Chains A and B, each alone.
Chain A
Amino acid sequence: MSVDSNAFRDFRAVLDGLGSIAPGEILSDEERVVRAKKLFLEKLDGPMAVDLETCIHCGMCAEACHFFEATRDERYAPIQKLLPLRRFYRRELSPMRWLFRTFSRDITATDLETWRELVFDSCTVCGRCDMMCPMGINLSTMINVMREGLASAGLVPAELQQLQNEQRDNDSVFGVDTTRLLEVVDELGRLGIEVPLDKDQADVLVLTTAVDLLLFKDAFGATAKIMNQLGVDWTMQSRGFEAMNFGLLSGDDAAQKRVSAKIVEQAQSCSASIVLLPESGHAYQALRWEGANELGEALSFEVLTMAEFIARELQADRLKLRVPSNGGSVTYHDPCRLGRHGGVMEQPRQVLRSLGLELREADSHGRENYCCGGGCGEYVIKNSAPLRRKAFGIKRREFDEAAADTVVTSCASCRINLMIGADEAGWQKPIESLTEKVAANLAS
């Protein structure tokens, strides 16, 4: 279950190489503002209006933010990240707009450029502030609208833009395409792990991510082992296996919709009743919670992430595990988009308990969990590296206090970010995949 150190080094080199090309659209200042405002107008809805009317500027949201906690820099207060959107709302949509237009200025291109750093480099849209706000304001949804507004104004960080363009133009992510998938499937085949590709009909369509194929091949292999052990009728489509959605991460609606539409097409082509997502928080959010809304109709299949699929199979007594006599202790790191944003919190804990592991919770866990520090694509943004490093200190402190043998998570992005943080801090705790833990303990 260890990660190949060469693969880890190579992957970090891939991350370091991003952003050297800055393929964002070249737009005039005026055009940027027009586009951002058009997007804000499209996206602002009744619930957001209620939220913007309700804020009392108490600033408590700052105390939920890992970046504020790590730096005490007031710019990182979540409500700060919304100020251009709030200004737009007040001047254009608010019932009191006639008054605000008199006393407040319009948003400018400089505002948008300033806020790019705040909503991309210094916010992982983790939603912890949503849980803190005494008014119940859903800040993260609106920060996402800020991201979308900046994306439409051509102000996505170069790294995210580059990956989104690659996914759109080359149908690959981090250079991982069908060829790479076939290589990994072949490698697994030599280990006796079969991956049934391109079946015409299957009950379950399994997706994976470029990160798994590059770095966490064991997690991919573990998924295949579990599926084969269960005897499930499953397949993977060699021309549509990618679950990552850089449209969601960059805030580009059209790009997000394109990726979701492709998955839906693949699922329909093999009549799958379940689409099983790999360990990826944002992929779950993009398809499970936003897919139908992006595409304008309910999905014809069920969307599950590995943690909830495994928990369900265990509960139904279809999946049998070996329970080691002394499995040790674990702390489970809740990926924000599976936990707070996704409702998958108890399932991974059920799985860990089924493995006979002692669960030692971090002080902040479940819906109050701290983000890994690099969520929502932030781990690819080079400018935010110093900030991520500081935020990792919070995770490290909480993990150390929990004093478990291992940290387990079910999101590859969280795992990478925690591994990078640990590597840079010289922190030795193993950071493992839930799926790999299960696959290593399948009853023969």
Chain B
Amino acid sequence: MTLLDFARGPAMQWSLAILVFGVLWRLLGVVLIMGKKDLSKPRRNRMIVDGLATVATRSLPVHQFEKRIRFQHLSGYVWHIALFIAVLFSAPHIIFFESLLGIGWPHLPNSIILFFATIAMAVLIALLVRRTGHPVQRSISNADDYVSVVVVIIALVTGILATSHFGARYETLLAIHLLSVEALFIWFPFGKLMHTVFIFPARFQAGAAFGRKGVRA
């Protein structure tokens, strides 16, 4: 079995299994911790609308906050958008998604994918450097904060190398990229990358809770 066969075969299967099982385990574990019924009389009763509104709008901080978090806010936008483009519109990725989901979509040229992947990587490295130097971020950081970022950076770097066929045979570069993504899959349920799942209920419940008091969250 070649390295690529291993990456495409058992490593992919096991890492996906750990990803799916781990995400479900962590979600279920939280769902089973019950909430308490709020017995106070709500000022208004439109929890679903208020919850969804906060899910949709919390990425747009109001002026009074925006002026104090501009760097993080903009870098967050750039990094997430660049990552989504690189992940969702790369031709090999779409083939992979099609094999999993049964549906595909048009891809972008490699040069554009490389551009966005490089942007995503650069912003992520900048955020990592900032974390080590910013007094607040440094003081609240734990191993997860660094491991999660490094795992994603490695996946981006290996992806860029594989796409640009730089440094080794394509098969080797592809195998290394696949293994790095599989490492990300395995880490995903254990660390803060899970915010991609939890952000939706967290924002929703904030919107609903403040909304019943008549406050837009």
Binding site for B on A (CB under 8 A): 44-47, 49-51, 53-60, 62-64, 68-69, 72, 74-75, 77, 79-80, 83, 93-96, 99, 130-138, 288-293, 296-299, 302, 339-343, 345, 363-364, 367-368
Add 17 more A-B contacts to A46-B30, A59-B140, A138-B209 (CB < 8 A): A46-B31, A50-B198, A53-B195, A54-B202, A55-B192, A57-B140, A57-B142, A57-B145, A59-B134, A68-B136, A79-B140, A96-B190, A132-B61, A134-B76, A136-B204, A292-B39, A293-B38
Kindly list chain B residues whose C-beta atoms are within 8 Å of the C-beta of A54.
195, 198-199, 202
Chain B: residues with CB nearer than 8 A to chain A? 25-26, 28-31, 33-36, 38-41, 43, 54-55, 58-59, 61-62, 64-65, 68-69, 72-73, 76, 134-142, 145, 190, 192, 194-195, 198-199, 201-207, 209-210, 213-217
Please state if A95 and B136 are interface contacts (CB–CB under 8 Å).
no
List chain A residues, Cβ under 8 A from B140: 57, 59, 74, 77, 79-80, 83
B204 to chain A, nearest CB (A): 8
Task: Report the bound CA distance from A129 to B29 in whole Å.
Answer: 27
Alpha-carbon distance A75/B213, docked complex (angstroms): 30
A-B contact pairs, 30 of them (CB 8 A): A45-B36, A46-B34, A46-B35, A47-B205, A53-B198, A57-B140, A57-B141, A59-B136, A59-B140, A62-B136, A63-B68, A63-B69, A69-B68, A72-B135, A74-B139, A79-B140, A80-B139, A80-B140, A96-B29, A134-B59, A135-B195, A135-B202, A136-B199, A136-B204, A136-B217, A137-B206, A291-B40, A298-B41, A343-B213, A343-B214
CB nearest to B206 among chain A residues: A136
- Nearest 4 CB-CB pairs, A to B? A95-B29, A343-B214, A136-B203, A136-B206
Give chain B residues whose Cβ lies under 8 Å from the Cβ of A296: 39
Give Cα distance in the complex from A302 to B38, angstroms.
16
Asked whether A136 and B205 contact (CB < 8 A) given A290-B40, A293-B40, the answer is yes
A299 touches B137 (CB 8 A): no
Q: Considering only CB atoms, which chain A residue lies closest to B65 in the complex?
A: A132
Q: Do B206 and A289 have beta carbons less than 8 Å apart?
A: no
> Can you name the residue of chain A whose Cβ is closest to the Cβ of B215?
A343
**B25, B55, B68 pick with most chain A CB within 10 angstroms:** B68
Chain B residues, Cβ within 8 Å of A68:
136
The reply to whether A60 and B26 contact each other, CB–CB distance below 8 Å, is: no
Which residues from chain B contact A58 at a C-beta distance below 8 Å?
72, 137
Establish whether residues A99 and B190, one from each chain, have CB atoms under 8 Å apart when the complex forms.
yes
Task: Select from chain B the residue with minimum beta-carbon distance to A82.
Answer: B140
Shortest Cβ distance from B203 into A: residue: A136
Instruction: For the complex formed, measure the closest distance between the CB of A295 and the CB atoms of chain B, giving whole angstroms.
Output: 8
B152 to chain A, nearest CB (A): 13
Q: A59-B140, A80-B140, A136-B199 are in contact. Are A50 and B209 (CB under 8 A)?
A: no
- Within 8 Å CB of B36, what residues of A? 45, 293
CB distance from A61 to the nearest CB of B (A): 9
| B24 nearest in chain A by CB position | A95
Q: Which residue of chain A lies nearest to B144 when distances are taken between CB atoms in the complex? A: A57
A293-B38, A368-B62 known; A60 vs B217 contact (CB < 8 Å): no
Name the distance in Å between B95's Cβ and chain A's nearest Cβ: 31
Contact of A44 among B33, B194, B205, B215 (CB under 8 A): B33
Chain B residues within an 8 Å CB radius of A96: 26, 29, 190
Residues on the A chain within 8 Å of B137, using CB: 57-59
Interchain CB contact under 8 A, A132 and B69: yes
Shortest Cβ distance from B151 into chain A, in angstroms?
Answer: 14
Interface centre among A57, A72, A290 (most CB of B within 10 A): A57
> Judging by beta carbons under 8 Å apart, are A136 and B207 in contact?
yes
Q: Is B29 a contact of A51 with CB atoms below 8 Å?
A: no
Return chain B residues, CB-CB under 8 Å to A83. 140
Shortest Cβ distance from residue B5 to the other chain A in the assembled complex, whole angstroms: 31
**Closest CB-CB distance, B50 to chain A, in whole Å?**
12
A119 to chain B, nearest CB (A): 15
* CB <8 Å contact, B136 and A288: no
